[in-house]
Amino acid sequence: MALTKAEVLHIAKLARLELKEEEVEKFRTQLSEILEYVGQLQKVDTAGIEPISQITGLQNVVREDLVRGCEPDVRDAMLEQFPKRRGDLLETLGVFE
């Protein structure tokens, strides 16, 4: 499936990318090749094949989270040292805007 220049520009707009003229042609070719490959993969008969997420058999080993409290005087000392707080809540810088 060959993409047109207009389709590449539309994809770039959706992805909020600004492309130069030479980049449009480069990505048109590359995206078209990727879509052709995906088209070949869709033709493969996968009936009767069990879906898998990985093939090594390894699993993540995680421990259960345990909540452990501390003595009230230790807790109060930690709260007093924190620069920004609202009552018992600690205020940090935002991660997301």
Q: How far apart are CA 70 and CA 7, in angstroms?
A: 59
Per the DSSP assignment, residues forming a β-bridge with 86 are: 89
Q: How far apart are CA 89 and CA 92, in angstroms?
A: 10
pLDDT digits (tens, 9 = 90+) for 19-37: 999 999 999 999 999 999 9
Q: Which helix (H) or strand (E) holds 89?
A: strand 89-90
Kindly report the backbone phi and psi dihedral angles of residue 20, in degrees, each rounded to the nearest multiple of 5, phi listed first: -80, 165
Angle subtended at Cα 67 by Cα 64 and Cα 71, rounded to the nearest 5 degrees: 150
pLDDT digits (tens, 9 = 90+) for 34-50: 999 999 999 999 899 88
pTM of the model: 0.49
Q: Walk me through the domains of the chain, giving residue ranges and CATH numbers.
A: 5-42 (1.10.20)
